[in-house]
Amino acid sequence: MSKARLVITAVTAEKRPVREVARTYGVARSWVYALLARYQAEGEGAFEPRSRRPKTSPSAISDRTVELIIELRKELAGQGLDAGPDTICWHLQAMRGPDRRPASNLPGPGGDGGPSRSPSKRFGDRLLRAAASADR
């Protein structure tokens, strides 16, 4: 039995106060009230897990721009040229004006939206320097 079902049962069937139920099950009172409102509105559907994904993403890159970036990456890589985020950003700006997003947020080679550069080596450099100074 889910925690949500236990909480709803304790409040509705057992007629226990919300404060006591929240304390017993280690949840916030506001969550209990939200769960009760959902149960009254939806019935048994209130016990189903909810998606945490946002309904909209205003800063997302349009599908056409993603397709364009992937085409540019393939074309540049096929010619043996640099296909990194700075180069892609430069090509996009040359095609249709400045893009509002920084180049590091443009889709990577897999089109996943993550940065395509390798992570910074600073931490590794610090470890090497520390190891070298310990040898002295």
For helices 63-78 and 85-96, the axis angle rounded to 10 degrees is 120
| Whole-angstrom distance, CA of residue 19 vs CA of residue 14 | 14
Domain assignment present for 88 = yes
pLDDT tens sequence across 40-96: 998 888 888 888 888 888 888 888 888 999 999 999 999 998 888 889 888 888 887
Answer yes or no: pTM beyond 0.75. no
Domain assignment present for 11 = yes
Domain assignment present for 55 = no
What's 24's DSSP letter? Answer: H
Tell me the residue range of the domain where 99 lies.
63-105
Domain assignment present for 132 = no
**Cα 77–Cα 78–Cα 82 angle in degrees, nearest 5:** 25
Question: Within this chain, do residues 70 and 41 fall inside the same structural domain, yes or no?
Answer: no
What does R_g of the chain's alpha carbons equal in angstroms? Answer: 26
Domain assignment present for 34 = yes
Question: Within this chain, do residues 40 and 15 fall inside the same structural domain, yes or no?
Answer: yes
> How many domains would you assign to the chain?
2
